[in-house]
Amino acid sequence: MNPPDKLNHSYDFDHYSELHKKEELKRLYFQATIFKQIETDHLMQLGVDSCKTVLEVGCGAGFVSGLLADIVRHGDVHGLDSSQSLLDVANKIVKPVHPNVAFYLADACCTGRPDACYDFVYSRMLYQHLSDPLAALREARRVTKQDGRVCVVDVDDDWVMMYPDCPSFTKLNQLSSEFQKNNLGDRRIGKKLPYLMQEAGFSKVRLDVKTVSSFDIDPKLFLDITVKFKAAHTQCGEAQKLIGDIYSFVTEAKHKVLVAASVFVVTGTV
């Protein structure tokens, strides 16, 4: 696969400090681990276990590619990402335990893969970072076989909440959404995905909104995954202060606090 000529997105691991890189890898690992059962059940429902060729676009450090490789026991999983540093981690940590996985440097809009070569194409938490999500969906459709499926999972900041109301939480979400918008991303992409899929030419488009909350996961761990990274991501001192306020708020509110976020899971058939 050809390396991307030009990147145009709101997630840049390579610009994080060494400390933030470590924290981000930990977050991606926890995110993949904590939701492993929900994600496995969903992928099994989509029949991914009988696929021979699977592509994960925006695979990052490859933790979800590893999960896909466990499901696709008799096939191959390809993970592609635009960050060589994250792919280096994937090759070091995930590849040795999953020989049926291979990682490639490429852009979501220009994968360099042949037409119609995958049974299933998956992307998780990628589309919010893309300047042209429609082009990426068209590319995913191009590389998927006839009757194969593409599934995109992403957030929508209109569907996150904290109870009791915490102004710092609201402000941080605003800052993060604005940052991403200024960098050609979109943290409110969830609700747009089903229509974008139809526009990209998919049939049988289905939307499933799944809500995860701190009722099932320790509230601080939930914040570690969904909130803490926003200081590094937005590169903004105000965000760091707001995050401190949110953790204090949760400590003081004790058992009464509830944080919830919905993820939009959209599937289409070629």
Q: Interface residues with ligand SAM (CB under 6 A)?
A: 7, 9, 11, 13, 28, 31-32, 58-60, 63-64, 81-83, 86, 107-108, 124-126, 129-130
Q: Kindly give, in sequence order, each residue whose CB lies less than 8 Å from that of residue 102, ignoring residues fewer than 6 positions away.
A: 76, 77, 78, 79, 95
For the chain, first and last CA: distance in Å?
23
List beta partners, residue 89: none
Q: Kindly give, in sequence order, each residue whose CB lies less than 8 Å from that of residue 125, ignoring residues fewer than 6 positions away.
A: 31, 58, 153, 154, 155
Tokens for 239, please give them.
């965000």
Query: Of the two residues 110 and 253, which places its CB atom closer to ligand SAM in the complex?
Result: 110
Q: How far is the CB of 86 from ligand SAM (least distance, A)?
A: 5
Strands (DSSP E) along the chain, which ranges?
A: 53-57, 76-81, 101-105, 118-124, 144-163, 203-213, 258-269
Query: Of the two residues 39 and 249, which places its CB atom closer to ligand SAM in the complex?
Result: 39
Query: Of the two residues 129 and 187, which places its CB atom closer to ligand SAM in the complex?
Result: 129
List beta partners, residue 149: 120, 269
Q: How far is the CB of 256 from ligand SAM (least distance, A)?
A: 30
Q: How far is the CB of 119 from ligand SAM (least distance, A)?
A: 19
Query: Of the two residues 64 and 266, which places its CB atom closer to ligand SAM in the complex?
Result: 64
Q: How far is the CB of 82 from ligand SAM (least distance, A)?
A: 4
Tokens for 148, please give them.
């194969």
Query: Of the two residues 107 and 156, which places its CB atom closer to ligand SAM in the complex?
Result: 107
Strands (DSSP E) along 166-246, which ranges?
A: 203-213
Query: Of the two residues 130 and 250, which places its CB atom closer to ligand SAM in the complex?
Result: 130
Closest CA to 125 of 239, 39, 244: 39
User: Measuring CA to CA, how many Å separate 126 from each of 49, 136, 154, 259?
Assistant: 23, 10, 7, 22
Q: How far is the CB of 12 from ligand SAM (least distance, A)?
A: 8
Which residue is closest to ligand SAM by CB?
A: 60
Q: How far is the CB of 72 from ligand SAM (least distance, A)?
A: 16
Closest CA to 126 of 105, 113, 109, 147: 109
Query: Of the two residues 14 and 147, which places its CB atom closer to ligand SAM in the complex?
Result: 14
Q: How far is the CB of 93 from ligand SAM (least distance, A)?
A: 13
Tokens for 149, please give them.
């499926």
> What is the torsion angle, in degrees rounded to the nearest 10, for the CA atoms of residue 32, residue 35, residue 39 and residue 40?
90
Q: How far is the CB of 222 from ligand SAM (least distance, A)?
A: 16
Query: Of the two residues 104 and 159, which places its CB atom closer to ligand SAM in the complex?
Result: 104
